[in-house]
Structure formats: C-alpha cells, structure tokens
Amino acid sequence: MYDRDVDLDELRIFSGNLGAGLLGRRIERSPLPFGRHRWVVDGGSPDIDLSARRSRAEIGAWIEQRARVRVDPERGPTFHLGVLPLDDGGTAVTLVASHCVVDGGLATAIADAVKGESRDFGYPQANSRGRRRAVSEDLIDAVRALPAVIRALIATLLILLRLSPDAKAPSAAPQPLEVTGDDDEAELPSVTMQTDAAAWDARAHELSGSSNTLVIALAARLAHWIGRVHPDGSTVTSHAAVSSAPTASCSAAPERSTAAGSSLSSRTSAGAENTAASTRELARDHLRANPADRELPALGWRN
C-alpha cells in the first residue's frame, strides 16, 4: 500500500528482476512416473496488470480478484503483479506467486529484485533433454536414491516397533462430509485492518509476544466475541500458515526441493516466530477474560 502514485517503469524493472531470480524458474516433470521433477529456466516476466481507479474501500475485493488470477508452476506464469490506483491518490500493488516455486524464498527474491541483483542457479532450459536422455538420467537418479529410500523405510518401521503397545492409538481421521451442489467458486468473508505499526509492535512487546502471536491472540479474542468457540465456551482454534524450513531437516538438493509448509493450531502449539509460550499466554488471557469486558486487549481499542 502506498499513499502516492508508483513509478510504473520502475515497477516493470522490478518485475523483470523477479523473473531473473527465484521466480524465474518453473517445474519440468520427469517422463518417469516415479522420477523426480526438475527446475528449468522460465525465461520471462508477465506484464503488469493495471486496474481502473477505485476507492480505498474496494481494495479487499480487488485483492480477492488478483488472488484468483492463475499462476502455473509448470507452464507459467509463476507470478504476476497488479497495480490499483486509488481515488485518494494512493496505490495498491499485489505480487502473487506460486507456492511451489518460491516457498521459503519469496523475501529473498523480492530483496534481490529491489537491489537489481540476479542469481545464476544453473538451471537448464525447458525441454532441453530428449525423451531418451530424460528417461535415462531420471532412471539413474532414481536408482541412486533407492538406498536412502530403503533406509528411511527401515527407520520408520523401527520407530513403529518401539512404540509401546499400550500407547493410545491415534483417533481415526474424520470421514469427509458428502458435499452436494455445483463446483462454483466460493468467496470467504474477510476483513482488512490497518493500524499503526509502532503501536502494534509496542503492544506485542509489552505482552512479551511478537507481532505474529499478537495477530493470533487478537483473532482468538474476536472469535470469542462473535461466539466462534468450542462447547466449553472459551476455547478457540485458530490456524496460521507457517514455514517449517528453519527447523526442518532437508537433505535434498536445493534445486530438487522446496521448503516445507505446515499449519499450526494455537490450541496445541505455537510456531509463529519464536514465542510459543507467549502465544499460549496471550490466547489464554484473551479467551478467559471477562466476556463483559468490551475492550480489545491488543491495542486498547473499544468496539
């Protein structure tokens, strides 16, 4: 979000720089059903979509529209940029990228593009291998990886055998509900909130938390106010997408893998940044507060 116009020429340069970095790659499938896919050069950046001027109140709807514009990690484009001029003189800019292509590296890709730095990852050109060569190379690669696969299977079996027979068996996965009706897209309701960053961070620090944990706590408190709680009347489940890359062990070559992602629940664990205990404390305090208290604990607002 900008409170001014943006330089479209500079934004086009930025888009080109994105295409010369991590976002300038895509996935090429192996001809073998069990073969590894590989990274190849994408070789282009999509044009910037410039929307007609709108009011600031329409930003949320516009963002939803931009999120629905297709990205394809195999055929491209792997990302796209959108610009929305606002009738009050401001500008909104969106960058939508394929999770498969840049998971865990989007911040690096943006920083490199802003600085005009390009990286040579050594990726081959798309369709640079004939079918015979591709089958041969991928088959050799699969054979070489077979010992590691076998070791992983053995390790898994040993772990299962060491489990106590008295250990509580995991509950059966819930059966999926049968859904009837058409396949039309559904738009979930959402709210965009703007606040002072310094005040937000100060409140998070005061509560011994982080910016991310404060978001979870605020969402939990709002859910409590509108009655989206568990049968006990106070517990709220909130999920947040986080990257497990900093703590995950990954032995695959960088060009053959992407960072793992996961979803956490604030009822059971807190992986947002580095304050699991703070998340639990914030959520507990907010959820168990006096329901008659209408003050938002996050920033001292009143509804």
For 8-115, the fitting CATH number among 2.160.10.10, 3.30.10.20, 3.40.50.300, 3.30.559.10 is 3.30.559.10
Helix, strand, or coil (residue 11): helix
pLDDT tens digits along 115-173: 998 888 889 999 899 999 999 999 999 999 999 989 999 999 988 888 756 555 555 55
pLDDT tens digits along 170-212: 555 556 656 666 667 676 777 777 788 899 999 999 988 888 8
DSSP 161-187: HHS-TTSPPPPPPPPPPP--S------
pLDDT > 50? residue 267: no
Structure confidence at residue 165 (pLDDT): 61
Contacts 24+ apart (CB under 8 A), 87-91: 87/53, 87/54, 87/55, 87/56, 88/55, 88/56, 89/3, 89/4, 89/5, 90/1, 90/2, 90/3, 90/4, 90/56, 91/1, 91/2, 91/4, 91/5, 91/6
- Whether pTM > 0.85 for this model: the answer is no
Structure confidence at residue 135 (pLDDT): 94
> Please, where in the chain does CATH 3.30.559.10 lie?
8-115
